[in-house]
Amino acid sequence: MQDHDTSLVDEIDLLDLVSVLLKRKWLIIGISTIAMVGALGYAIGSLLLPPESSYLPNEYTPKAHMLINDSSSSGGGMASMLASSGLGGLASLAGVSVPGGSTYSALAVYLAGTNSFLDSVVDKFNLVERYEIRKSVRAESRKALKEKLSASFDEDSGVLSISFTDIDPAFAQSVVNYAVDYMEKRFTEMGIDNNKLQKENLEVNIQNTYDEIIKLEAESMNLDRATSRGSYTTNGGSLVLEATRIKRELEAQQAVYTQLKTQYELLKVQMASETPVFQVLEYAEIPDQKSGPSRGMLCIIVTFAGFFGSVFLAFVLNAIENIKKDPVAMAKLKGIKE
């Protein structure tokens, strides 16, 4: 009997709620419609204005991807590399001083948030003027850049992603690609990728040796011509001796060139079978689709907010009306006022 009474009370309460909603249905419909139309007008208005003056402009977020090879990273080895490059303090801050737990990916993410990196981007693209920063220029420009620049690492794939959001898609692409080049340069400067650094050094030495060989060959040809004419040097020495000396130097340079070229080709074979520590997989492209804002979602949220707000208002108005009809409640209110 008691359960029957409880269910009856619940049914009556539910009917009361429904009756209130039906009674105030035009209020609910009106407020919800106004909210929907207002949100729609707000969204359309933002599209009609130029991006630089719009209160809700389209934003674009190009993204670049780099492969970070953590397989060869170790606490001692990585920390020693950083120490040798003058970044020993950075090793501990980046979480690379603990043997067995350090990763190049953690270092890459850390570098993307350093002041030197942020200041480099700010100065390169004149973000102080672009964002109209007038006070605390360095601190505020770094803060503004951090809000738009993002660096994240996917542990499953080993891919580091860098993105930047701006209303100008071409500008955003330039910032991202500059950040990628900066990161690659920093990894090279720290000597973390030894094979890559060795390859670059060999390329420089091979080119220098080749240039020296070309120079000696030209001198040898000139001396051969002079010797065939029986000429002598200004100090009286025979050109034959000078030609012999140049020939010996040429043979030495050719031997050095052959050795360097052999090392270079062997290193290329070795690098082809290994994954470099830092490898650019994909540079950022100019996006042709906006990343935000979602005007459709904004309209939906505002419409639902208007609906629930109108329902709440309907119950408030109904409660006020019931209080006015209750003499006991009105008497209590008069007593409180007095």
Q: HEC profile for the chain?
A: CHHHHHHHHHHHHHHHHHHHHHHCHHHHHHHHHHHHHHHHHHHHHHHHCCCCCCCCCCEECCEEEEEECCCCCCHHHHHHHHHHCCCHHHHHHCCCCCCCCCCHHHHHHHHCCCHHHHHHHHHHCCHHHHCCCCCCHHHHHHHHHHHHEEEEEECCCCEEEEEECECCHHHHHHHHHHHHHHHHHHHHHCCCCHHHHHHHHHHHHHHHHHHHHHHHHHHHHHHHHHHHCCCECCCCCEHHHHHHHHHHHHHHHHHHHHHHHHHHHHHHHHHHCCCCCEEEEECCCCCCCCCECCHHHHHHHHHHHHHHHHHHHHHHHHHHHHHHHCHHHHHHHHHHHC
pLDDT at 169: 94
The domain locations on the chain are 2-55+295-337, 63-193, 195-274
pLDDT at 34: 94
pLDDT at 127: 92
User: 217-245: per-residue pLDDT in tens?
Assistant: 888 787 777 666 655 554 445 666 777 78
What percent of the chain lies above the pLDDT cut of 70?
76
pLDDT at 229: 62
Name the stretches of the chain with pLDDT < 50: 1-2, 5, 8-10, 12, 73-101, 234-236
pLDDT at 333: 65
